[in-house]
Amino acid sequence: MARDVVHDIIARGLQPGDGLPSEAAMLEQYGVSRESLREGLRLLEVQGLISIRRGPGGGPVVGTVDPSNLGRISTLYFHLAGATYSELFEAWVLAECVLVDRAARNPDRAARAAAMAPYLDGDGAHEEEELEKFVREHGGFHIAIASLARNRVLELAMQTMGRIVAHHVAVTDDPRVMHGLIADDHLKLARAILAGHANQARSLMEDHIQGIAKYSRERFGARMDDFIEWR
């Protein structure tokens, strides 16, 4: 049921925020029981792929493909597999280096310029800004890089590690103390990507992620050997 709904969302060209048919219409369309339909929709809602609006005029609404939701679910698999935070940070460094290498090699210079434009003026956020806004804006930089990778599987899957790390940093510490490191690194990376210097971008990204990982490891302390979870 969940698979068929996702298939029809794509087939109909629906966008985030668009409503899905009513329950009665979907029962007729798919020829399934009310229990099967609701279970399928519940599965999609848990994954963040749809949301259910309650009350009059409510119903299922198309959600977004958010790596954070995939990251949240992935932590259950990582935890059961016995994967630790040390392994997560190691994988995160590798993932971001792959993405930035592909971004800098994207042959469409106009696309590179458009994606990096917000980060080229060096006027980063200030430490006194709201935490949520800070995390969103700087997380957007890595989203922009992933969007240039020209591979939706890599774009989605490899962002999940950074989202898990960002979630933990945001709830256990205040990442705004890293403002100088983050803003300066993003500016250098944006320039390298715009110029198409893949090797330089990869080296800068490795140093950037290693710097954040070092900061985070110091605050995680003995928890680095704990199994990954979503707190």
Q: What is the pTM of this model?
A: 0.86
What distance, in Å, lies between the first and last C-alpha atoms of the chain?
A: 30
Contacts of 42 (CB under 8 A, 6+ apart): none
Contacts of 194 (CB under 8 A, 6+ apart): 109, 112, 113, 116, 120
pLDDT digits (tens, 9 = 90+) for 51-103: 998 888 789 999 999 999 999 999 999 999 999 999 999 999 999 999 999 99
Question: Using only C-alpha atoms, what is the Rg of the chain?
Answer: 20
pLDDT digits (tens, 9 = 90+) for 180-210: 678 889 999 999 999 999 999 999 999 999 9
Rounded to the nearest 10 degrees, the angle between the axes of helix 85-104 and helix 198-220 is 160
Where do the H-state alpha helices sit in 47-178?
A: 67-81, 85-104, 109-116, 131-147, 152-157, 159-172
Q: Which residue is it, tokens 């930089």?
A: 141
Q: What is the mean pLDDT of the chain?
A: 89
